Chain A
């Protein structure tokens, strides 16, 4: 397995070039990293981001950038980072508000689902630490998110959160 440190060093170099507005050099470094770590979603997203910042008209196209975002979103599956970038691309570059709205909606749903999972885990840890008020706040936030996401439609997880809230009330 290739060392993570080499990957981190490479990404740090990209970041430095990016911040210095040397987008051509940043893109070249990402392309080099992609040869070593092909199909890395993080690199694919950076590559697609940087294509849009290029001044020169040769090289990879905006169609290539869209394909890279789509590939990263497919590879990441449950992670919304690539999908958020793809949504921005559809909105600003493709000027397609309809497609962007659908994609952003999916991102919002994914983010809410991940946030609910994090809040539930956080609540459990806080409960074990006997920080009942904080645990209650985390569960209440998870419950609110769960019941206000139209795509969830209530279901098993909502009932589980209610049960945990009841248990916590009894424990207090």
Chain B
């Protein structure tokens, strides 16, 4: 399944769900919906925080795939 169509709760690891910037009520939104909300004017703060958690997880998940010198 495309990353954009996946639910935030499936993309945010359990450990990060303890953070204040994790919002349970946004957990069932897709990454696409969250990106759209965080790009709105004015930006949706909860969506912006959730987007950062998803992107941090994706960045770390893919870290060993990056070329090393």
B41 proximal to A (CB < 8 A): no
Q: Say yes or no: B16 contacts A56, CB within 8 Å.
A: no
Contact A19 B16, beta carbon cutoff 8 Å: no
Contact A53–B52 (Cβ < 8 Å): no
A166 nearest CB across to chain B (Å)? 33
Residues of A within 8 A of B57 (CB): 52-53
Determine if A19 and B65 form an interchain contact, defined as CB atoms under 8 angstroms apart: yes
Known: A57-B14, A93-B16. A52 touches B21 (CB 8 A): no
Give chain A nearest CB distance to B63 CB in angstroms: 6
Chain A residues with CB under 8 A of B16: 52, 62, 93
| Nearest opposing residue in chain A for B51, CB measure | A92
A51 touches B52 (CB 8 A): no
Interface pair A95/B56, CB less than 8 Å apart: no
With known contacts A55-B14, A62-B15, A95-B49, A15–B64 Cβ distance under 8 A: yes
Roughly how many angstroms separate A10 CA and B21 CA in the complex, as a whole number? 34
**B15-35 contact mask (Cβ, 8 Å, vs A): 1 or 0:** 110111100000000000000
Known: A18-B64, A19-B65, A49-B60. A55 touches B15 (CB 8 A): yes
User: Is A21 at the interface (CB under 8 A from chain B)?
Assistant: yes
Contact indicator B56/A52 (Cβ below 8 Å): yes
Sorting the interface of chain B by its residue count into under 10, 10 to 19, 20 to 34 or 35 or more gives: 20 to 34
Tier of interface size on chain A: 20 to 34
B64: chain A residues within 8 A (beta carbon): 15, 18-19
A86 to chain B, nearest CB (A): 13
Closest chain A residue to B18, Cβ basis:
A57
> Is B53 among interface residues, defined by CB-CB distance under 8 A?
yes
14 contacts between A and B (CB under 8 A): A18-B63, A19-B65, A21-B61, A49-B63, A52-B15, A52-B57, A53-B57, A57-B18, A62-B15, A62-B16, A88-B56, A89-B56, A92-B53, A93-B53
Interface residues of B, Cβ cutoff 8 Å to A: 13-16, 18-21, 49, 52-53, 55-57, 59-61, 63-65
Q: Residues of A at under 8 Å CB distance from B? A: 15, 18-19, 21, 23, 49-57, 62, 88-89, 91-93, 95
Which 7 pairs show the lowest CB-CB distances between chains A and B? A92-B56, A55-B14, A92-B52, A54-B15, A95-B21, A15-B64, A18-B64
